[in-house]
């Protein structure tokens, strides 16, 4: 069956080549330098007409199903990018489209569907995920007889997606050695892998899935399509619980190996693309590169000097998600660790810690709240290398500091700072601003160490030239408070007292 299916697919690809460029142009193949000892090229599907690759398969499927006797109204279900491709096709071909999307679909993707489809599209929000939207769409098709356009499990959809590989083959003067392809339902991965393998039989295809989205890997291992239960939706473009029947067959034959990646590793790949080429893809768009990074950890010699392909499959992401990505990227790249360190609850304890073990490291965050009269647990994040982390751990042990690595703890993920305001003694809360240079904050802590104790500390490096922190201070007496305020007034550090209403909310925590 697979050989027959592959042949049918091969027959459809040249036909798609003659059709899909009615609505879009080929996308660039760009070489980028990420500091590795292999040659990396990225296929810029983020520069296509809908800023994702789905216009290819969407248009080809709509066109062919309509020609083959489909109705003048088409129906699709999508988390976002397929919907945009179908909407664009409907407008181009003068058809009506009913597009089902989950209620939680990103607003920018909803707006993009309306923009690309105009009056030809009706957007229907249904269910909490793609599966629920898909079930509603199929039920609607059964009731109305309209034509359903599947986002991946359709030979015409796959033939359209294969144009990614077709363009790569035409543009490349030599074959690629490896391709790292992200997988959702398997339409793009299967199509690109099969077409690349047909022309470059020696290429090694690595399928990449999220740790909690690996429906294709699970299915291939089981020998049949498997439906997962709850899946993670951080990479929403690949959040599919079950691969397609057609895509499963083609992926099983065309993909050589699988690797899974965490959300942090995907976020690190996004930052890597920004640093190397000023590209900001959606999470699924960076999944291929994240897979390459993960694979390279254990296959360094295999990749050395090789020609590597990764696809930036989309860049349709709500802007608000960038802060979440930034927070995950450093930990995902193993360049940031969070340490929770036990200290005495007394003036100057944090300064002593910083002077003993943190002089040469780059502190990225402080998270602390007073929870005990005599003991304190300060959380400090540092950015560095594996050697930096080892040196810090050794120093903390040498100085008898009790500590633990809490980088993956959920309170760190959600930036929860525990504190007990009942223990605060007439606190002063301030928005502290200081020059974002090494030593500036430490100098401030040294200057106030004899007159103030810290009861609350929330600081995170933001990339600005000015560092900002919300801090709470306690004083043994009014004289110390006056000395503290005088230090603030005559320092390069600026401190603005938090308004009474905000302090009241903090103390009612």
Same fold, 2-52+162-330 and 335-507: no
pLDDT of residue 106: 80
- Residue, of 303 and 505, whose pLDDT is higher: 303
Strands (E), 222-282: 257-261
> If DSSP codes are grouped into helix, strand and coil, which group holds residue 129?
coil
335-507: what CATH class?
Answer: alpha beta
pLDDT tier at 131 (50, 70, 90 boundaries)? confident
% of the chain with per-residue pLDDT over 70: 100
Lowest mean pLDDT among 28-42, 93-107, 486-500: 486-500
- Name the token pair of 407: 């980088």
Q: Where are the domains of the chain?
A: 2-52+162-330, 54-156, 335-507
User: CB 14: neighbour CB atoms within 10 A?
Assistant: 11
pLDDT of residue 234: 92
pLDDT tier at 348 (50, 70, 90 boundaries)? confident
Q: How far apart are the first and last CA of the chain?
A: 64
Question: Is pLDDT at 507 greater than 80 in this prediction?
Answer: no
- Name the token pair of 277: 């080429």
Which residues share a beta bridge with 378?
A: 341
pLDDT per position as a tens digit, 202-225: 999 999 999 999 999 999 999 999
pLDDT of residue 58: 97
Could you give phi then psi for residue 203, rounded to 5 degrees? -65, 145
pLDDT tier at 1 (50, 70, 90 boundaries)? low
- Residue, of 378 and 506, whose pLDDT is higher: 378
pLDDT of residue 472: 94
Average pLDDT of span 133-144:
95
pLDDT of residue 341: 96
pLDDT of residue 3: 86
Which residues share a beta bridge with 31?
A: 41
Average pLDDT of span 428-448:
89
pLDDT per position as a tens digit, 235-271: 999 999 999 999 999 999 999 999 999 999 999 999 9
**Would you say 311 and 339 are in contact if contact means Cβ atoms under 8 Å apart?**
no
Lowest mean pLDDT among 129-138, 444-453, 500-509: 500-509
Average pLDDT of span 92-97:
96
pLDDT of residue 24: 95
Nearest to 438 by CA among 497, 358, 368, 502: 358
pLDDT of residue 109: 86
Element (H, E) at 420: none
What would the CATH number be for the domain defined by 2-52+162-330? 3.40.50.1100
Pairing of strands 307-312, 178-182: parallel
Lowest mean pLDDT among 262-266, 470-474, 488-492: 488-492
Question: Is pLDDT at 367 greater than 90 in this prediction?
Answer: yes
Separation of alpha carbons 167 and 483, rounded Å: 70
3-state secondary structure labels for all residues of 349-361: HHHHHHHHHCCCC
54-156: what CATH class?
Answer: alpha beta
Question: Is pLDDT at 416 greater than 60 in this prediction?
Answer: yes
Which residues share a beta bridge with 338?
A: 381
How many angstroms from the chain centroid is the CA of residue 480? 47
pLDDT per position as a tens digit, 160-195: 999 999 999 999 999 999 999 999 999 999 999 999
Mean per-residue pLDDT of the chain? 93
pLDDT of residue 327: 81
Average pLDDT of span 280-288:
97
Question: Is pLDDT at 328 greater than 80 in this prediction?
Answer: yes
List the 257-261 sheet strands across, edge first.
29-32, 39-44, 307-312, 178-182, 204-210, 257-261
């Amino acid at each position: 069956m697979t050989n027959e299916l592959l042949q049918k697919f091969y027959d459809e690809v040249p036909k798609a080549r003659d059709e899909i460029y009615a609505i879009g142009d080929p996308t660039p193949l760009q070489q980028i330098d990420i500091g590795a000892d292999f040659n990396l090229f990225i296929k810029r599907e983020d520069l296509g007409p809908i800023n994702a690759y789905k216009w290819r398969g969407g248009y080809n499927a709509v066109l062919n199903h309509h020609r083959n006797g489909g109705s003048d109204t088409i129906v699709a279900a999508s988390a976002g990018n397929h919907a945009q491709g179908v909407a664009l096709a409907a407008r181009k071909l003068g058809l009506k489209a009913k597009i089902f999307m989950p209620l939680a679909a990103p607003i920018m993707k909803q707006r993009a569907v309306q923009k690309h489809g105009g009056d030809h599209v009706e957007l229907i929000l249904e269910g909490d995920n793609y599966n629920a939207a898909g079930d509603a769409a199929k039920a609607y098709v059964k009731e109305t007889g309209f034509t359903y356009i599947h986002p991946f499990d359709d030979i015409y959809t796959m033939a359209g997606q294969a144009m990614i590989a077709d363009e790569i083959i035409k543009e490349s003067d030599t074959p690629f050695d490896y391709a790292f392809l992200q997988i959702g339902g398997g339409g793009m991965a299967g199509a690109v892998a099969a077409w690349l393998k047909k022309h470059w039989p020696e290429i090694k295809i690595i399928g990449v899935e999220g740790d909690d989205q690996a429906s294709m890997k699970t299915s291939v291992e089981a020998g049949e399509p498997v439906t997962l239960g709850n899946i993670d939706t951080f990479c929403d473009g690949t959040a599919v619980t079950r691969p397609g029947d057609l895509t499963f067959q083609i992926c099983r034959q065309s993909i050589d190996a699988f690797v899974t990646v965490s959300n942090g590793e995907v976020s690190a790949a996004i930052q890597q693309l920004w640093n190397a080429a000023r590209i900001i893809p959606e999470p699924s768009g960076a999944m291929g590169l994240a897979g390459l990074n993960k694979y390279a950890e254990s296959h360094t010699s295999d990749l050395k000097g090789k020609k590597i392909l990764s696809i930036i499959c989309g860049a349709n992401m709500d802007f608000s998600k960038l802060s979440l990505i930034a927070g995950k990227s450093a930990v995902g790249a193993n360049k940031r660790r969070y340490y929770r360190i036990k200290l005495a609850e007394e003036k100057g304890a944090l300064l002593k810690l910083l002077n003993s073990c943190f002089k040469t490291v780059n502190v990225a965050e402080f998270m602390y709240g007073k929870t005990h009269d005599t003991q304190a647990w300060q959380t400090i994040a540092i950015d560095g290398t594996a050697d930096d982390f080892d040196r810090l751990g050794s120093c903390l042990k040498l100085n008898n500091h009790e500590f633990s690595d809490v980088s993956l703890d959920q309170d760190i993920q959600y930036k929860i700072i525990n504190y007990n305001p009942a223990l605060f003694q007439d606190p002063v809360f301030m928005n502290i601003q200081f020059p974002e240079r090494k030593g500036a904050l430490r100098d401030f802590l040294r200057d106030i160490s004899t007159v103030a104790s810290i009861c609350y500390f929330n600081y995170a490096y933001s990339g600005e030239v000015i560092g900002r922190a919300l801090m709470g201070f306690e004083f043994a007496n009014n004289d110390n408070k006056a000395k503290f305020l005088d230090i603030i007034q005559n320092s390069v550090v600026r401190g603005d007292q938090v308004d009474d209403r905000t302090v009241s909310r903090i103390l009612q925590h």
